[in-house]
Amino acid sequence: MNTYDLLVVGSANADLVVGVDRRPAAGETVLGSDLVVHPGGKGANQAVAAARLGARTALLARVGDDGHGTLLRESMESAGVDTSGVLVGGAPTGVALITVDPSGDNSIVVSPGANGRLTPDDVRAAGELFAGARVVSTLLEIPLETVAEVARSIADGARLVLNPSPPAPLPDEVLAVCDPLIVNEHEARVVLGTDTEGGPGDWDDWARALLALGPRSVVITLGADGALVADASGSSRVASVKVKAVDTTGAGDAFTAALAWRLGTGEALADAAAYAARVGAAAVTKEGAQVSYPTAEEVAAL
């Protein structure tokens, strides 16, 4: 029997958020709101989002021995995440500098800090976490060699979900294990190595091109246009859920976590993506990342 519905291997950051009337141009200074500090990081976000939905969740990550690290561990533990795999030390906790405009759109700069010290040796030492996980989700806010070790560490019968964010070209050995590879339009272009802008007529072609690189399935998130899911049997579209966005920070992480969890329960890819779209929509109706993530009951009421 699996100990965890989802094991997340990834980053944990303190999100330093400032609201702005508009984001500054190069060389320009704008005044913003008071600084707010939220627990964040794509790995910690995914773990909290899944745990809030009711998934048995663990996180393998690294934080600093500092106040931001304490904030992150407390947030995860209060959400029900197993933090036995959260390592402490090596560098200060990672920090994300985030500006949010009145439409809810954000711009983010990340200082990786301790996230950059999560090593392949840390992955190998976490064998019990991998052995107990039904699904493993990872991302690129940790070193690529660590992600490659994650791909090699997937237990028989388990599934790897990868969101290559921030985007970078991926090794064949990683792509071959992804089920699914989850990308937005920008990430898809980077993985495919193209500067071509996409539109509705291109998305199926993009999905086929991504599948040709090796992943077993692909999900392309398309913002207001929903998502496209594809595997060897074909592709289908998933509709978006219309809500008034307050803050989009962390919404993609909520989508990925919900999708990974539902796949682990045996749901088909399109059904899992439709549920994940509702979770992501609920998340953007509140400020912040982890504090905005809904419970299963809140998703059902959306």
Q: Annotated binding site: which residue ranges? A: 13-15, 41-45, 141, 184, 221-226, 247, 249, 252-253, 283, 286, 288, 292
Q: Annotated binding site for K(+): which residue ranges? A: 247, 249, 283, 286, 288, 292
Please check whether residue 78 lies inside any domain of the structure.
Answer: yes
d(CA 284, CA 294): 10
Which pLDDT does position 291 carry in this prediction?
A: 83
Instruction: List own/partner pairs for 146-154 with CB under 8 A and 24 or more apart.
Output: 146/9, 146/118, 146/119, 146/120, 146/122, 147/9, 147/174, 148/120, 148/173, 148/174, 149/120, 149/123, 149/124, 150/9, 150/123, 151/176, 151/177, 153/123, 153/124, 153/126, 153/127, 154/130
Q: Annotated binding site for substrate: which residue ranges? A: 13-15, 41-45, 141, 253
Which pLDDT does position 242 carry in this prediction?
A: 83
Output the CA–CA distances (angstroms, integers) from residue 143 to 17, 21, 168, 170, in the order listed. 25, 34, 11, 12
Please check whether residue 1 lies inside any domain of the structure.
Answer: no
Torsion of CA 84, 90, 91, 97, to 10 degrees: -40
Q: Which residues of the chain have pLDDT under 70?
A: 1, 195-201
Closest CA to 177 of 135, 221, 227, 117: 135
Please check whether residue 83 lies inside any domain of the structure.
Answer: yes
**Domain that includes residue 42, residue range:** 6-21+33-301
Domain count, the chain: 1
pLDDT, tens digit, 9 for 90 and up, residues 133-184 = 999 999 999 999 999 999 999 999 999 999 999 899 899 999 999 999 999 9
Please check whether residue 26 lies inside any domain of the structure.
Answer: no
Contact (Cβ atoms closer than 8 angstroms) between residue 100 and residue 163:
no
* Helix 67-79 vs helix 42-53: crossing angle, to nearest 10: 20
Closest CA to 123 of 40, 274, 35, 7: 7
Type of residue at 286: K
pLDDT, tens digit, 9 for 90 and up, residues 262-298 = 999 999 999 999 999 999 988 888 877 788 898 988 8
Which pLDDT does position 56 carry in this prediction?
A: 97
Q: Which two tokens stand for residue 118?
A: 């999560």
d(CA 52, CA 293): 7
The enclosing domain of 175 has a CATH number of: 3.40.1190.20
The Cβ-side half-sphere exposure at 104, using a 13 Å CA radius, reads 18
d(CA 269, CA 284): 23
> Catalytic one among 179, 204, 253, 271?
253
Please check whether residue 28 lies inside any domain of the structure.
Answer: no
Which pLDDT does position 289 carry in this prediction?
A: 77
Please check whether residue 236 lies inside any domain of the structure.
Answer: yes
Contact (Cβ atoms closer than 8 angstroms) between residue 166 and residue 146:
no
Q: Annotated binding site for ATP: which residue ranges? A: 184, 221-226, 252-253
Which pLDDT does position 266 carry in this prediction?
A: 94
Catalytic (active site) residue 253: yes
Please check whether residue 10 lies inside any domain of the structure.
Answer: yes
Please check whether residue 138 lies inside any domain of the structure.
Answer: yes
Which pLDDT does position 287 carry in this prediction?
A: 77
Using the CB atoms, write b or e for 96-131: b if 16+ within 10 Å. Answer: bbbbbeeebebeeebbbbbbbbbbbebbeebeebbe
Give the predicted TM-score (pTM) of the model.
Answer: 0.91
